[in-house]
Amino acid sequence: MLPPALAIGYPMTIRLRKFIGAVLLFGLVIVWALIAMAFAQAPAIRDNALASIAYYIIAGMGWVLPAMPLVRWMNRRADIG
């Protein structure tokens, strides 16, 4: 038998929504970091100090944009009605 939050027709609890969101955020950060490290090895970025600084600033802050909808979903209240 499924827990009430996973059964069809029942709203997802906030606790479950935040747990799923935290796991997905963790995965997003890991994948983002691996991809950013791979792109950082490009000669145009690696050999130029100014391009390297700009790249690391953009890549370091860039994960926030894909994470925003996920965080918004995590904080949404359950529709009980």
Task: Decide: 79 and 11 in contact? Cβ < 8 Å.
Answer: yes
Bigger pLDDT: 30 or 3?
30
| Integer Cα distance of 71 and 44 in angstroms | 34
Q: List, for residues 4-49, the tens digit of each pLDDT value.
A: 555 566 778 888 999 999 999 999 999 999 999 999 999 999 999 9
| Integer Cα distance of 29 and 41 in angstroms | 19
| Integer Cα distance of 14 and 68 in angstroms | 17
